[in-house]
Amino acid sequence: MSDYSLDRFRGKRILIWGYGREGKSTEDFFKAHPVAASVEVSEQKPDEIDLSPYDVVFKSPGIRLKYPTLEGFALAQSDQRGLDEVNDGRGDHFRDEWFDKLTSQTEFFISCFRDRVIGITGTKGKSTTTSLLWHVLDTCFRNRGRMDAGDNYPDTLPTNAYLVGNIGVPCLDYFDDMANGNGVAVFELSCHQLAYSRVSPHVAIFLNLYEDHLDFYGDRATYFMAKRHITEFQTERDCLYLGEDVPELTTNATVRTVTERYTGQMKLLGEHNRLNAAFVRETAIGCFGLPMEYVDRAISEFTGLSHRLEYIGSYGGIRYYDDSISTIPEASLQAIDSVPGVGTVLIGGMDRDIDYTPLVRAIPKMKDINFICMYASGERICRELTGGVDAWLPGRADARESSAPISESLKNVFYVPDLEAAVELARVVTPVDRACVLSPAAASYGYFKNFEERGDVFASLVKQ
């Protein structure tokens, strides 16, 4: 049973730790529901903060603790040597008893409404899948009265679907709507949102798992540990839709593995999006009993999201696509397979020490496609392509004007310092009637505020 009573916070001293979009939303929530004795905000670092005065601490997802998952802290609490590792030379600053005070918007919201929450996670595809599922459910719920499905249409359906989570809308913004109605939350869940969560949604979709966020989690196993919390606390009453690229896991939920691609009409590009659509179709029909013809119609109408293989336009005879959401090599390779007539790909960004072997192996085989590398990860890819030789690096004043390939054997691979120089070079080397795709296979941080800003800058440069 879901319990959305606020009595758990009545008379408590609450700290909001982190004041980004989610932190501000939490503050607004407690202003609208003044049940706590006090609500304070802190942006202090873990080695600075004192949580002793507080009863409940709403931790923002981006705050990094020594152990980045629930299991890490559990190990530390059971072993004093583990605690010493957690403290990382800081003495007893982050004390073990503080861990029990930590919660989050995600954990609180799902604990309240778990029977009406569909959670979606995965290394790639989660934003598109979440948005497509919300679109399908919202369309079918709102248009039920106008649909001529006869006895095939369910008698009882939720009235609304709410798009929340990592997609950009804090879940507590819809708390009152969920509490006062029978809507469902379609919740995109990042690894950071899941890492400390002690509750799982009723319906979980785990699309895939690839190497990512190693700068935060250290290794793939710990990253997977965070992700699998989407099903860790499910029961036999719950359902898990599982992709074939997810490592083996143990769950109490009913598992439905999705492997077949969707074959209906779609505006989205790429075979990977056909797999995303298959997850959506299975969930919409399997969980809500929606008629397949209406689900298919809604899928066919979905136009996609910004910065996900988004068509920018044709300029100078070259078609430009923004796939700035791409932060791993597998996503860039999918972009090449998805966009017709790719002539140039722009890759590179923050180097998070992920494995670029898939790209490094593929690039020499695609001699008809230009690869323009940039920033730190672009340098690393070039070094791996040349066996560690870095004589090609344009560490000189005319680097922006340089258009020489990185080696005689890799005449389709170039290095430039930044995105502006990459777009300039793409105009020169991309054949007319071919496509140029920004698909960086790297995070934007350190160079841009986020992947959205990177995509916007790319579109602006293209249109100049």
pLDDT value, residue 88: 42
Q: CB of 109 within 8 A of CB of 177? A: no
Residue bearing the bigger pLDDT, 98 or 432: 432
* Token duo for residue 182: 């029978």
pTM: 0.83
Count of residues making up the chain: 464
Pairing of strands 38-42, 117-121: unpaired
Is the pLDDT at 378 greater than 80, yes or no? yes
- pLDDT greater than 80 at residue 449: yes
pLDDT at 1: 41
Token pair listed for 274 = 């056909």
pLDDT of residue 329: 94
Instruction: For residues 76 and 87, give the distance between their C-alpha atoms in angstroms, rounded to a whole number.
Output: 10
Token pair recorded at residue 1: 């049973």
Q: Please, what is the angle between helix 292-301 and helix 126-142, to 10°?
A: 120
Higher pLDDT, 87 or 201: 201
Chain segment 212-252, per-residue pLDDT in tens: 888 888 889 999 999 999 999 999 999 999 999 999 999 99
- Asked if pLDDT for residue 80 goes beyond 70, the answer is no
Cα–Cα dist 113/201, whole Å: 8
pLDDT interval class at 83 (50, 70, 90): very low
Residue 408 confidence (pLDDT): 86
Per DSSP, the residues of 374-397 read -HHHHHHHHHHHTTT--TT---ST
| Helices (runs of H) and strands (runs of E) counted in the chain | 17, 16
Cα distance between residue 425 and residue 415, in whole Å = 10
Place of tokens 């209406």: 294
% of the chain with per-residue pLDDT over 70: 88
Q: What is the DSSP string of 230-296?
A: HHHT--TTSEEEEEEESPP---SSEEEEE-SPP-S--SS-SHHHHHHHHHHHHHHHHHH---HHHHH
| DSSP state, residue 102 | E
Q: DSSP E strands: which ranges in 328-415?
A: 342-347, 370-373, 413-415
Angle at which helix 21-32 crosses helix 105-113, to 10 degrees, equals: 50
Q: Are strands 435-438 and 342-347 parallel, antiparallel or unpaired?
A: parallel
For residue 338, the one-letter residue type is S
| Range of weakest confidence among 18-32, 58-72, 381-395, 420-434 | 381-395
Under the banding of pLDDT at 50, 70 and 90, the label for residue 91 is very low
**Per-residue pLDDT, 400:** 44
Average pLDDT, the chain: 89
pLDDT at 322 over 90: yes
Structure tokens at 222: 């710990």
C-alpha distances out from residue 56 to 51, 179, 192, 436, 445, Å? 9, 22, 19, 50, 31
Domains of the chain in sequence order = 7-103 (3.40.50), 109-301 (3.40.1190.10), 310-463 (3.90.190.20)
The predicted structure's pLDDT at residue 96: 67
Name the amino acid, one letter, at 128.
Answer: T
| DSSP-derived secondary structure for 206-231 | EEE--S--HHHHSSHHHHHHHHTHHH
The end-to-end CA distance of the chain, in Å, is: 56
DSSP string, 17-53: E--SHHHHHHHHHHHHS--SSEEEEE---TTT---TT
203-208 and 117-121: which strand pairing?
parallel
Confidence of residue 15 (pLDDT cuts 50, 70, 90): very high
CA distances from 46 to 66, 84, 185 (A): 9, 15, 32
What is residue 43's predicted lDDT score, i.e. its pLDDT?
95
The arithmetic mean of pLDDT across residues 14-32, rounded, is 96
Question: Which has more pLDDT, 402 or 415?
Answer: 415
In angstroms, rounded to a whole number, what is the distance separating the alpha carbons of residues 345 and 248? 34
Q: Do β-strands 318-322 and 310-315 pair in parallel, antiparallel, or remain unpaired? A: antiparallel
